[in-house]
Amino acid sequence: VQLQASGGGLAQAGGSLRLSCAASGSFFFINTMGWYRQAPEKRRELVATITSDGSTNYADSVKGRFTISRDNAKNTMYLQMNSLKPEDTAVYYCTAAVRVAPNVQNNYWGRGTEVTVSS
């Protein structure tokens, strides 16, 4: 199973970016997916998660600005980021809990996509 994150880049404060995370490989289904981020010299932190049935959870710092969604038919997750702030600057990583066998679930991470927000 591989997760490929894309969509990062440079944005101005107040602007928007949309991240995507596509899962590929052989598996039964994808359970919870999520986005984490890691800013320079800081610990990796949770941004948002979404379950297979669409229940979402957000970090307080992004509530009302970011929206997580997924397309199960495409095995793809998205993160719409609006009203970006310089403090959103980080490398964003996607993660997924994937059922690879009837009784086996593994967690996978993508390589990350860099987001830079200028003031």
Query: What does each of the 119 residues of the chain score in pLDDT, given as a tens digit?
Result: 999 999 999 999 999 999 999 999 999 999 999 999 999 999 999 999 999 999 999 999 999 999 999 999 999 999 999 999 999 999 999 999 999 999 999 999 999 999 999 99
Give pLDDT, residue 32: 98
Q: What is the pLDDT of residue 69?
A: 98
CA distance 45 to 23: 21
Q: Which two three-digit tokens encode residue 100?
A: 């690879």
